Homo-oligomer: A and B are copies of this chain.
Amino acid sequence: MSPDDEFGDLKAIIESLIFASPDPVTLKVLVKTLDGEPPEHIEEALAMLGQEWNDRPGGLQLVEVAGGYQIVTKPELHEWVRRLFHEHSKQRLSVQALETLAVVAYRQPVTGPEIAEIRGVNTSGVLGTLVERRLVKVVGRKAVIGRPFLYATTREFLDRFGLKDLADLPKVEDMAEALGMEVPAALTEGYPTDAILPFEPDPDPETPPAEPPEKVH
């Protein structure tokens, strides 16, 4: 093996180590990992690698930071990276949204204050997102004081989850059985027996609104 080839291999190994490491990789760590390789070879390979990265156009750079080496995006591209993550968080259905969707699905038609009471937190913003995504819609107003909106799931929701109708929504026992899991005893009760509730003001007064309705005075 010619010395050049050898350095080629060494550079490749060092590069992969720097890339895969969560923290900047120090010379010391490299020497220890590449046990048997003369430290001056490693230093030389590192210098060559630094030069190559320096000459390389593109979006990444090799930097020396905190006594070690790390591959990072070029600072002038940070705005784009920020946009990527912004786009990501816009797209993502957060745990919050999923929980809210689940409550709407299993308790529909249901009002914002009722959802907030079950979840223990205010959910109005998340509900808006779900309505925007056409997974949830307003189906009327509940005939209680404040006349809060009643929410239910949409046709789109059924399609997304591969359900024919709301009666298809699985009960926890169904899924536990299909997947060979234990059903937590506490969770077998309290499911809606008749999942399909027509749009109809619920005369049941037992759940008082827990949160101011949309209307503000």
State how many copies of this chain the complex holds: 2
Q: Does A145 contact B (CB under 8 A)?
A: no
For residue A197, which residues in chain B have a CB less than 8 angstroms away from its CB? 160
A156: which B residues are within 8 A, CB to CB?
A: 203
Question: Is A217's CB within 8 Å of the partner chain B?
Answer: no
Q: Is the CB of A112 within 8 A of B33?
A: no
A77 x B124 contact (CB < 8 A)? no
In whole angstroms, what is the CA distance A143 to B83 when docked?
42
Specify the chain B residue showing the minimal Cβ separation from A111: B178
Q: Given A20-B73, A162-B211, do A87 and B128 touch, yes or no (CB 8 Å)?
A: no
Taking a contact as CB atoms under 8 Å apart, the answer to whether A163 and B149 are in contact is: no
On whether the beta carbons of A149 and B164 are closer than 8 Å, the reply is: no
Q: How far is the CB of A82 from chain B (nearest CB, A)?
A: 9
Are B164 and A57 in contact, with the CB atoms below 8 A?
no
A64 at the interface (CB under 8 A from B): no
- Give A148 to B174 CA distance when docked, in angstroms: 9
Of the listed residues A60, A109, A168, A200, the one surrounded by the most CB atoms of chain B closer than 10 A to its CB is A60
- Residues in B whose Cβ lies below 8 Å from that of A74: 12, 16
Query: Once the chains are docked, how many angstroms separate the CA of A162 from the CA of B152?
Result: 12
Interface residues of A in 85-103 (CB under 8 A from B): 85, 87-88, 90-91, 93
A135–chain B nearest beta-carbon distance, Å = 9
- Could you tell me if B131 and A60 are in contact, using CB atoms closer than 8 angstroms? no
Enumerate 29 A-B pairs (CB-CB under 8 Å) in ascending A order.
A11-B59, A12-B58, A12-B59, A12-B74, A13-B80, A15-B59, A16-B73, A20-B85, A21-B84, A25-B84, A29-B84, A32-B87, A124-B178, A124-B179, A124-B180, A125-B180, A126-B180, A127-B178, A131-B179, A132-B201, A133-B201, A134-B203, A138-B162, A138-B170, A140-B162, A147-B168, A149-B174, A156-B203, A160-B199
